[in-house]
Amino acid sequence: MPFPAVVPASAIPPASLLLDARPGPEAFAGSHLPGAVHADLDRFLSSASDPGTDPARGGRHPLPVPAQWAAQLGAWGITPETWVVAYDDANGGNGAARLWWMLRAFGHRRAVLLDGGLQAALAADPAPGASLAPAPPYPGDRWLWPTVTLDQVDRLRLDPAWKVLDVRSRPRYRGETEPIDPVAGHIPGALNLPFAENLDAHGRFKEPDALRRMYREFLAGTSPDHLVVHCGSGVTACHTLLALDLARLGQASLYVGSWSEWCRNPLPRA
């Protein structure tokens, strides 16, 4: 059977593990779906909290090493047969799409994002999530979907066969505002298509045909496998990677370090 990238609250697979990907314990403590487990963005979906982590080398949300991720999936009780539903309260942009990408990129096909997020699900009164017993580490040892490094981005941004896509808001891309990182602006040569444009007026993902038209127009003949996607720290970029999957356009590369790594790197870059 096909494995969709997103599901509405009315179509959550039975006995699914619900993972709440919002950062920090306060939001989860305040409200979450019944039976959900907190897959805290900062604690589990990134190694940024590890001692000695330097944002200049990997950005603000570097990926955990594969062995750590395999152990965490096992601790949550996830095996290759487990349905996992990721959600947040920002239409997928606050951790849920990153969680979806990390599961799929690790080889776990039964991973979906909850369309509309926490708000839509609470309104639909879904069944409680499954309670799973811990399992052995997940049978994976590497990220199977493509990622690129700072040095690779520096080279590819100058290659006419490639495109580099910045999915942050237009004001952040233009350098008019920067609420998080120490420097405003964007990677020279990068183009901009905000991840919010993946969504309709109700905060749900647009239909696959609409996404396909939008990204084919953006790509303008560039193959999707020659596309690098980034954001501020490699989190919301996954929202666009999910949209590309919905559009059946294939896998682009994730620049995990994103602007948070690029703008802190001391090397002069024109």
Please give the CATH topology (third level) of the domain spanning 147-262.
Answer: Oxidized Rhodanese; domain 1 (3.40.250)
Total residue count of the chain as it appears in this document:
270
Residue 245 binned pLDDT confidence (cut-offs 50, 70, 90)? very high
Rounded Cα distance between 184 and 260, Å, is 10
- pLDDT above 60 (res 260): yes
Q: What is the pLDDT of residue 91?
A: 95
Please give the CATH topology (third level) of the domain spanning 6-124.
Answer: Oxidized Rhodanese; domain 1 (3.40.250)
Annotated active-site positions, please?
231
> Each residue of 159-189: pLDDT tens digit?
999 999 999 999 999 999 999 999 999 999 9
> Each residue of 196-211: pLDDT tens digit?
999 999 999 999 999 9
> Each residue of 6-18: pLDDT tens digit?
999 999 999 999 9
CB-CB contact of 166 with 259 (8 Å) = yes
> Each residue of 79-135: pLDDT tens digit?
999 999 999 999 999 999 999 999 999 999 999 999 999 999 998 888 889 999 999
147-262 and 6-124 share a CATH fold: yes
CB-CB contact of 120 with 92 (8 Å) = no
The phi and psi torsions of 199 (rounded to 5 degrees) equal -110, 155
For residue 217, with 0-12 CB atoms within 10 Å meaning exposed, 13-18 middle and 19 or more buried, which class applies?
Answer: exposed
Would you state the structure tokens that stand for residue 67, as one six-digit string? 């062995």
> Of 200, 59, 80, which Cα lies nearest the Cα of 135?
80
**Model pTM score:** 0.95
Q: What is the pLDDT of residue 259?
A: 98
Domain ranges of the chain: 6-124, 147-262
